[in-house]
Amino acid sequence: MSTIAVRKSFLSTVWEYLTTVDHKKIAHLYLGAGGFFFLLGGLEALFIRIQLMKPQNNFVNEQLFNELMTMHGTTMIFLAAMPLLFAYMNAVVPLQIGARDVAFPFLNALGFWLFFWGGIFLNLSWFLGGAPDAGWTSYASLSLASEGHGIDFYTLGIQISGFGTLMSGINFLATIITMRAPGMSFMRMPLFTWTTFIASSLILMAFPPLTISVFYLIFDRLFNSAIFDVTLGGNTIIWEHFFWIFGHPEVYILILPAFGIFSEIIPTFSRKRLFGYSSMVFATILIGFLGFMVWAHHMFTTGLGNVANAIFAVATMAIAVPTGIKIFNWLLTMWGGSIKITVPMIWALGFIPSFVMGGVTGVMQGIAPLDYQLHDTYFIVAHFHYVIIGGVVFAIFAAAHFYWPKMFGKMLSEKLGYVTFAFFFVGFHMTFFVQHFLGLMGMPRRVATFLPGQGLDLYNFISSLGAILMTIGVIVLLVNIVITSMSKQQVANDPWGDGRTIEWALPSPPPYYNFKQLPLVRGQDTWWLEKMEGNKELPPAEPLQDIHMPKGSILPFFIALGLFIAGFGAMYNPLNQVGDGHPMGTVVLIFGLAMTFGTMLLRSLRDDLGYYIPKEELEDDDAKGGKVS
Amino acid sequence: MKKWGLYLSLLIFALILTACGEPYLSTLKPAGEVAERQFNLLLLSTGVMTLVIVVVVIIYVIVLIRFRRKKGEEDKIPEQVEGSHKLEIIWTIIPIILILILAVPTVAETFNLGDVSERDKVDKDGNRENLVINVRASLYWWEFEYPDQGIVTSQDLVVPTDEKIYFNLIASDVKHAFWIPAIGGKIDTNTDNENSFYLVFDGEKADEAGNIFYGKCAELCGPSHAYMDFKVKAVPRAEFDEWVVAMQNFEEPEPQTAVAQQGKEIFENSCIGCHAVSAENSMPAEARIAPNLADFGNRTRVAGILPYTKENIKEWIQNPGDIKPGNLMYDSANFSEEELDALAEYLMSLKAQE
């Protein structure tokens, strides 16, 4: 009897998640799928470090190494870091601005499913003839020469999930522009909302170049065009430009939300408002703007000429100024505060020195003539892991602890949190600090192995040991999540006690409609303001009335699935470069596209007006203590 | 606690001191003008950046010591400071100054190191004044053509010390990058167009490094990217000139032994379609599809990476796919032991100079 009941509720939960358009549930989906890909990418990283533990190691062969290295980068950037940040954006941003959902809930779900199917598509390459092997940058001459379908999995997978990212970016822009609660002016928005806003506008402008260039590569490999084929009059440098016009803003798409997360955590646990709020906003915008001006610093050795190199060198160094402003503002936020050490705060405290390390090596690489030595060596590997792990991953871990109670109503264990931090932080510095020197000592990046007798053995060994410590840290975090999920606890609205922004005024997790009455925002740090005046809740901006809600839908799932199917059709079409095409490929391509566009048509023709939660039901919830299932 | 920190910083310092690498490979032991200038930029920028880190760390440590929430202060609400224009202006202006300090030498050196205007300068007889070497990168080997000397070699680059040498670089299949860390930064060998730059090999430093520098491919180019090494023999100008003359006059020696004679026959049946054994560059670049073996007897390595022994030559001829997977020669051959011996002996006899 009871097993049937559990089974049924399990299936209904699955169905609920497949059809949900609720930003909080989509946040769970992003967290789950992004977390899964994070573990996958981490495992690939571990294999890389095991292979490089000693010279001429034979743990994996050269081809497999290139596949692991490519998939590690691609997975971490596109399928782990961005989705995990989207998880927190979805969970928190609508609450922070006092909205009941995002502007386009249906699009939000579609964005997730596109990312999900794109990621699955890319990873199926492991089982279908080999993963992509040309690096996450997939430079055109090598990616055209690559055998098998690995690169096609890369291009099609990135394309599908890229659509999703673009949609999510547009959605957040629309949400933040149009859905702010009364009184929530732009200059009252919490920093995480601000950084989400700027990162979304970067997505809007940076993803189209990627989409276009990836389409070109798809056409070259699958339909015999010759855009990048030098022997037929094509040009490969254009791929480098396109890729980095996307690729450089991409790193700001990752780091800005991370800055936002720390700009929430540091004031909260310093019990002090963010120092220099306006300059923080200004610095964010400036970083976003300059982020588009510096792409060619990835191409200093391509041979663009002295003038281009000099201009891009100086532009690159200029980014240090707004970034420095942020660092000092965080330090001064803590200055004079009352700092409480918690797990989110310890990650923030670990972030500051780690990120500064990564930032200064970035400036060093901006010095073009010096970069001729540093480019494509382990120095750059150290640099971007210092900013991406020390910045983005630390932020993801900090936010996991910080927002877990808001997302799931439970606190992650503090004790295990510190254990994770200790292992991961020490392991991280051990892995990557020595890599600076490996690069300076002459070790190129992306090498499947290295020969003995070049003075590189010791540091590679230390680096690999560090990777093992990081792995232990992540395993402890997983244990923590499992233990917490099984515990029966229910935290209050403001479990950290010092919450400052609107989300902490709501139950944990918030009811599915978020706000019974939209709040009236009377200033920056809205919830802190009310608390200081002795208020127990936010003042309402509207009378209690029926709430209009969107209906769930399975259509986003099928729109994305159609592209996933079409991807296989395109890959095995009769024209493809590998020569294993099949007439059925075209049929599958058409079937998949028909599924996508048919479902979209269905969505367009059938009016979905949503539904209303009657006022009476909301009042009833009050009697039950505001808890809504 | 304090002592622990001291030990830690001593340890880090010791690590940094030992972290200079090998003189034939490390950018931290520059052995030429270009690497020297780049090393100076490294020192300057590291200095400035250390200053930044020190300032941040000092503020950070003070904050953590002074402003931790203490017992009995659980309800204390600190003053909510909005900001400080004075401070914010200070930490905007000072970084700008620091960046200007870096930007001036950056721009200057970009133009210095990228200056190839002297490359084609000729004396009154119409001969180029500087040595020019055309580098062609292929999966997974390097060709060095000396256009003014009319010779071609591969895998071992031979250069004179203490003078500017100009390089023109291109790739013949996929993109690679040409890098001799101890001598100077890298430059990509594009498939689309030729790049140019110059390097200088310091005579004294070359002596210290044993006259051999390690060169690397720095751009991912396939499974054997890690094995796409080359070696640089940096010798005084007089010695270089002797080598050039020897190469120009190189004529395939008559095999001295019966075994070598047999090797020559096998070579002429199986290998000569791709591999030239004459240093003269009479063929166009497109036709030079495999490494030139003219001076093979004096190579420093087999296939750019293996120690130069007869056993390794035989192993390479028989199973190149195991040593450099993805290479374009073949994956494996089935020569008999006798044939391999003969081929190896023949190849080792190909010397321009003793």
The C-alpha atoms of residue A371 and residue B245 are separated, in whole angstroms, by 38
- A331 and B221 within 8 Å at the Cβ level: the answer is no
- B64 and A363 within 8 Å at the Cβ level: the answer is no
Extended strands (E) in chain B: 131-138, 141-146, 151-154, 156-160, 164-171, 176-180, 184-189, 195-200, 212-217, 230-235, 301-302, 306-307
Picking from B219, B221, B232 by the largest number of A CB atoms within 10 A of its own CB, the best residue to mutate is B219
pLDDT score of A8? 62
Report whether pLDDT(A227) > 50.
yes
Helical spans, DSSP H, in A179-304: 191-222, 237-270, 277-290
Span A242-258, pLDDT tens digits: 999 999 999 999 999 99
CB A60 within 8 A of CB A49: no
* A148 and chain B in contact, CB less than 8 A: no
* B226 and chain A in contact, CB less than 8 A: yes
Report whether pLDDT(A623) > 60.
no
The pLDDT of A537-541, averaged and rounded, is 92
The C-alpha atoms of residue A285 and residue A296 are separated, in whole angstroms, by 20
Span A558-611, pLDDT tens digits: 999 999 999 999 999 998 888 888 899 999 999 999 999 999 999 999 888 889
Element (H, E) at A570: helix A555-571
CB A102 within 8 A of CB A108: yes
Report whether pLDDT(A287) > 50.
yes
How big is the CA angle at B52 (ends A364 and B69), to the nearest 5 degrees?
135
Those of residues 241-300 in A touching chain B at CB distance below 8 A are: 270-273, 275-279
Q: Which of B260, B231, B289, B274 is nearest to B351 (CA)?
A: B260
Pull the structure tokens for residue B201: 């090999």
- A440 and B73 within 8 Å at the Cβ level: the answer is no
Residue written as token pair 């291009």: A155
The pLDDT of A419-447, averaged and rounded, is 96
From the list A310, A324, A329, the residue facing B107 with the nearest CB is A310
CB B216 within 8 A of CB B24: no
Report whether pLDDT(A478) > 50.
yes
Kindly state the percentage of chain B with pLDDT values over 70: 95
- B186 and A301 within 8 Å at the Cβ level: the answer is yes
Pull the structure tokens for residue A454: 């070049």
- A275 and B83 within 8 Å at the Cβ level: the answer is yes
Q: Which residues of A touch B190 (CB under 8 A)?
A: 236-237, 302-303
pLDDT score of A606? 86
- B52 and A324 within 8 Å at the Cβ level: the answer is yes
How many angstroms away from the CA of A101 is the closest CA of chain B? 31
Q: Looking at domain B131-354, which of 3.30.2350.10, 3.40.640.10, 1.25.40.10, 2.60.40.420 is its CATH number?
A: 2.60.40.420
pLDDT band at A7 (very low <50, low <70, confident <90, very high): low
pLDDT score of B75? 84
Comparing A83-87, B20-24, B32-36, B195-199, the range with the smallest average pLDDT is B20-24
Residue with more model confidence, A608 or A8: A608
* B164 and chain A in contact, CB less than 8 A: no
Report whether pLDDT(A2) > 70.
no
The C-alpha atoms of residue A411 and residue B211 are separated, in whole angstroms, by 63
- Look over chain A and give the mean of its residue pLDDT values, rounded to a whole number: 93
Kindly state the percentage of chain A with pLDDT values over 90: 91
Tally A–B CB contacts below 8 A: 293
- For chain B, the structural domain boundaries read 2-67+83-113, 131-354
Span A340-381, pLDDT tens digits: 999 999 999 999 999 999 999 999 999 999 999 999 999 999
Pull the structure tokens for residue B157: 């680059």
Element (H, E) at B336: none
Q: Minimal Cα distance from B174: which residue of A? A: A141
Span B94-121, pLDDT tens digits: 999 999 999 999 999 999 999 999 998 9
Picking from B4, B39, B88, B98 by the largest number of A CB atoms within 10 A of its own CB, the best residue to mutate is B88
- The DSSP string of B265-281 is HHHHHHTTTT-----B-
How many angstroms away from the CA of A359 is the closest CA of chain B? 9
Pull the structure tokens for residue A223: 């339909």
- For chain A, the structural domain boundaries read 2-553+608-623
The 8-class DSSP code of residue B152 comes to: E
Report whether pLDDT(A626) > 70.
no
The C-alpha atoms of residue A543 and residue A518 are separated, in whole angstroms, by 9
The pLDDT of A426-439, averaged and rounded, is 96
Burial B296-314 (b: 16+ CB within 10 A, else e): bbbbebbbbbbeeeeebbb
Report whether pLDDT(A4) > 80.
no
pLDDT score of A625? 46
A188's CB contacts (< 8 A; 6+ apart) are A521, A523, A524, A526
pLDDT score of B280? 84
Q: Looking at domain A2-553+608-623, which of 3.30.2090.10, 3.40.50.300, 3.40.50.970, 1.20.210.10 is its CATH number?
A: 1.20.210.10
The pLDDT of A54-78, averaged and rounded, is 96
pLDDT score of B14? 62
- A236 and B92 within 8 Å at the Cβ level: the answer is no
